[in-house]
């Protein structure tokens, strides 16, 4: 991993750590507020359990939806890598339908194109390098398409055009699909709401724990750790090229395809 990737991972981990520490602090704050109220006014105020239940239910629902969505998008991004490898591999094989004289130039372009696609996702943490590699891929797409159309027109049969051009079209289209999949995330306000609800839940949990008398640090730290770790995993799955949970291993299918292009 490059320095920027490590920096991104450290940033997310630092936010999760701060969330955990903040939750511990708010649990204790809630407990102290409840103890003060109990000293001034003994007894349990009415409606507290109803409010607590509503907030905890909302928090659990938000975690469930964000976790499920992050997992679904993570799986979709992995599947798209395989789809692109299949699309490029199919188009590569169908180059055999072209006249022999037209094949070497297109195969050279294909190798350069796949190199640029690998480079795009290898340097995804570097915005400038990523844009440069993506622009190179787009340029090569145009060259491949132009040469393929010219070669099909020179071919003595219609089979090459019927089979090769749709395969090239699919190979080009999948790049847009992968780019959009990389950019698709929940609105930032959802993550802010998730963090805010975690802190509010910690405050309410601490307030409710005061009635038990002696605090349990195991429960306090355990609750904060579990929630902070869950939030970290959700964010990590949303950005699988930057953290500990990564889709880089799936790129091996593209690297294997590149090695097979002799």
User: Does residue 16 contact residue 236 with C-beta atoms inside 8 Å?
Assistant: no
Question: What is the residue-wise DSSP string for 43-61?
Answer: SPPTTHHHHHHHHHHHHHH
Residue carrying structure tokens 């037209």: 102
Q: How far apart are CA 226 and CA 228, in angstroms?
A: 6
At 44-55, the pLDDT tens digits run: 665 677 888 899
Range of the domain at 24: 3-260
pLDDT in tens, 156-171: 778 888 999 999 999 9
Q: What is the pLDDT of residues 198-236, one digit of tens each?
A: 999 999 999 888 776 677 888 899 999 999 999 999 998
Among 23-32, 99-108, 125-134, 182-191, whose mean pLDDT is lowest?
125-134
Distance of CA 245 to the CA centre of its chain: 9
| pLDDT tens track for 101-159 | 999 999 999 999 999 999 988 877 677 888 899 999 999 999 999 999 999 988 777 88
Kindly tell me if the per-residue pLDDT of 5 is higher than 60. no
Q: How far apart, in whole angstroms, are the C-alpha atoms of residue 113 and residue 117?
A: 6
User: How far apart, in whole angstroms, are the C-alpha atoms of residue 254 and residue 50?
Assistant: 54
Quick one: residue 42, left, alpha or beta (phi over 0 = left, psi -120 to 50 = alpha)? beta
* Domains held by the chain: number: 1
Q: How confident is the model at residue 40 (pLDDT cuts 50, 70, 90)?
A: confident
């Amino acid at each position: 991993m490059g320095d920027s990737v490590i920096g991104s991972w450290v940033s997310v981990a630092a936010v999760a750590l701060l969330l955990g520490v903040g939750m511990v602090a708010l649990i204790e704050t809630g407990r102290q507020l409840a103890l003060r109220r109990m000293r001034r006014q003994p007894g349990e105020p009415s409606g507290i359990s109803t409010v607590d239940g509503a907030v905890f239910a909302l928090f659990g629902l938000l975690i469930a939806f964000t976790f499920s969505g992050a997992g679904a998008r993570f799986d979709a991004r992995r599947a798209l890598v395989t789809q692109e490898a299949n699309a490029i591999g199919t188009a590569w094989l169908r180059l055999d339908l072209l006249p022999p004289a037209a094949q070497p130039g297109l195969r050279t372009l294909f190798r350069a194109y796949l190199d640029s696609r690998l480079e795009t996702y290898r340097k995804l943490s570097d915005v400038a390098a990523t844009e440069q590699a993506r622009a190179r891929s787009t340029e090569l797409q145009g060259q491949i398409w132009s040469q393929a159309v010219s070669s099909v027109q020179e071919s003595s049969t219609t089979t090459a055009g019927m089979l090769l051009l749709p395969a090239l079209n699919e190979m080009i289209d999948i790049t847009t699909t992968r780019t959009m999949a990389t950019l698709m995330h929940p609105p930032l306000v959802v993550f802010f709401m998730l963090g805010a609800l975690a802190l509010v839940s910690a405050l309410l949990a601490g307030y409710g724990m005061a009635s038990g008398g002696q605090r349990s640090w195991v429960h306090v730290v355990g609750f904060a750790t579990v929630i902070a770790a869950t939030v970290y995993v959700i964010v990590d799955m949303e950005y699988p090229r930057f953290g500990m949970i990564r889709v880089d291993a799936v790129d091996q299918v593209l690297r294997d395809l590149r090695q097979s292009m002799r």
